[in-house]
Amino acid sequence: MPLPPLSDRTETLVVLQGVSKSYGTAEGPLMVLQAIDLTLDAGQSLALTGESGSGKSTLLHLVAGLDHPDDGRIMVDGQEIGGLDDKGRASLRRSTVGLVFQQFNLIPSLTVAANLAFHARLAGRFDAAWQRQLTERLGLDHLLARYPEQLSGGQQQRVAIGRTLAARPKLVLADEPTGNLDEATGDAVMALMLSLVAETGSSLLMVTHSDRLARRLDRRIHLRSGCIDATTVPTA
């Protein structure tokens, strides 16, 4: 599919052009991503699937501005990440992007309530009413005074999702968000996340191993050895 010029893509939230990334290893450089082209429109959801080591998480990290590509251009919400310094990238993560990790990565020293509000307050978008609504929808209202270590895995993941969505980011990046949960809990958490993402109007880029979960998103891209597989198809 030919890629339109970056400047014309006003409804497009994420654009990747010829993005490559390698890591140095003891055996020499390891190519993780090779010349990736990809777009994600505002409000759209996209599943990234592939084998372990195919470069899914790396791609997600590059879009989040957590890492630099060796080659190519990445544009998020009209800003080219390559042109941003450390401070600019931090600002992008704070205001535009929300991250949900497989390991939850909650802040252990803060209560559930403080964890939920943390990113929204950091981004200057804290909305008490929305937070209350989120808390209820996520079934966390009776856990607000607890600390992360006092929660089950499913509860922790719900807090992580709530923390991201409380900030209403334009782009939600999720890396195997249900990878640590059993199937039933994972399904329930995923249903909740998708519905909330839809309500906030955010775009979602999600890494997953699960075909079943991938099918629930608008589009799906399969990565194989750092390249986009030709068999990639829209799911909708």
* Residue ranges that bind other proteins, judged by CB under 8 A: 23, 57, 61, 64, 66-68, 86-87, 90-95, 99, 101-103, 105-110, 114, 117-119, 121-123, 175
| Smallest distance from other proteins to CB 161, Å | 14
Distances (CA, A) of 178 to 59, 153, 206, 223: 19, 9, 11, 19
| Minimum CB distance to other proteins, residue 6 (Å) | 24
Supply 92's token pair: 């992008």
Residue 10 or 25: the one with the smaller Cβ distance to other proteins is 25
Beta carbon of residue 29, minimum distance to other proteins (angstroms, whole number): 13
Would you say 5 or 28 has its CB closer to other proteins?
A: 28
**How far is Cα 195 from Cα 116, in angstroms, rounded to an integer?**
18
Residue 94 tokens read as 């704070």
DSSP three-state, residue 150? helix
Quote the least distance from Cβ 93 to other proteins, whole Å.
4
Shortest Å, Cβ 63 to other proteins: 12
**Chain-centre distance of CA 159, in angstroms?**
15
- Between residues 39 and 135, which has the closer beta carbon with respect to other proteins? 135
Instruction: Please identify, using beta-carbon distances, which residue of 75 and 120 lies nearer to other proteins.
Output: 120
Nearest residue to 140 via CA among 189, 204, 181: 189
CA–CA separation, 148 and 157 (whole Å):
10
Distance, CA of 156 to CA of 153 (rounded, Å): 5
Q: Rank residues 101 and 138 by Cβ distance to other proteins and give the closer one.
A: 101
Q: Which residues pair with 203 in a beta bridge?
A: 171
CB closer to other proteins out of 87 and 142? 87
Spatial contact of 233 and 91, defined as CB atoms under 8 Å apart: no
For the bound state, the minimum distance from the C-beta of residue 46 to other proteins, rounded and expressed in Å, comes to 19
